[in-house]
Structure 1
Amino acid sequence: MKKLSVILLVLLFANIVVNAQSRTDDEAAIQKTWARFGNSWKNKDFSDMKDYVTPDCHWINVVGMHWHNLKEVQFAHQVFVNAFLKNAAAADKSSDLRFLTNDVAIMYRVTHIAAFYPPDGVDRGTNKQGDKDNIATIVFVKQNGKWYIASGHNSDVVAQAAASDPVLHMPK
């Protein structure tokens, strides 16, 4: 019985070590997938989106436009970076990753978006947007050993509203 207990303990420890290494590898792979999106933005070229986004993906942008598949998501991002987002740099600020299962993870990502001027990139004196933080919820799925973006939704962070966040005043 003692020998069986030792064997079970060794197997349990080995399983914990393997799972921890796997989770670290998955976290790194997810960060690389997100970096590919960032590179597409920076290069103003989303033609490689099929390599890191699922064909059936969804995306809801900051003003509530809902795109329903890779073709729509890729097209919309490309149109926007060619027009009013062409000079808007994006700088990642923070990230929080949560695994729901071994094959599904959610990232909460804060990015600072530089100023931009919709709808065509021209400053008309009253159309300035951006120059603020944006928070995105990105759903990643692991398919055939590779991590892909399956869904995204981003929202502006409204600094003036931050002081009114009820969680800041929640009893401890």
Structure 2
Amino acid sequence: MTRTLPEHIAEQFVAAWNQYDAEQLAAIFVDDADFVNVTGLWWHNKEAIYQAHAYGLGVIFNHSKLESKRTKVRYITDDIATVHARIRLSNQTALAENVPPHIRNTLFLFVVQKIDGIWFCLAAQNAEVQSGKETFIKKEDGSLEAVNYGKFKK
């Protein structure tokens, strides 16, 4: 896929994921790119991004499907832009038999730059969407719970 528009970054990410192709996925990134995943793991270069996704697509997401729901591009300059992409993840690998994970909704932010006519990703971050929730509270056992402070307002 030729990346002649910023939104092609999100499209190629989804296409590579759905083909379980970490090499194609990593191809959208510059060599010194950064990637922060949904749990805050931070990879500092294209090779680390490739390795993490090769593992993820082979073990955690080896039957999964990404579906792009909405994309928004904001140009910062003619050659630099941000791409927000709402993405739905289904069929994540179960941790235990007969306990399939639910469908997840995420929001990706790609910071992209056009280099020699082709758009590349400089940095990406993925956030889990918790509809109607404002933040997370860390519980005593260390787990996180998505909460809405509105119910506590008087």
Q: TM-score, normalised by structure 2?
A: 0.77
**Closer/same/farther in 2, CA of residues 107 and 135 from structure 1, 3 Å limit:** same
Verify: 1:95 aligned to 2:104, yes or no: no
Aligned pair in 2 of structure 1 residues 165, 45: CA closer, same or farther (>3 Å)? farther
Match of 1:32 in 2: 8
SS where residue 161 of structure 1 aligns? coil
Give the structure with the higher percent strand: 2
Gap change, CA 1:88 and 1:151, over 3 Å in 2? same
Q: Percent identity?
A: 17
Equivalent residue of 1:110, what SS? strand
1:66 to 39, 42, 59: 42
Deviations 1:39-93 (A, max 9, x none): 2101111223454211110000000100000000111011101001111111111
Identify the residue that residue 140 of structure 1 maps to in structure 2: 112
| Alignment check: 8 A CA contact 2:7 2:73 kept | no
Q: CA deviation at 1:32?
A: 2.5
Aligned counterparts, 1:38-77, within 5 A: 38-49=14-25, 51-77=27-53
Q: Which residue of 2 aligns with 1:158?
A: 130
State the TM-score, normalized to the length of structure 1.
Answer: 0.70
2:87 corresponding residue in structure 1: 111
- Pick the structure with more helix per residue: 1
CA 1:165–1:56: 2 relative to 1, 3 Å: farther
**Structure showing greater Rg:** 1
Total equivalences in the alignment: 136
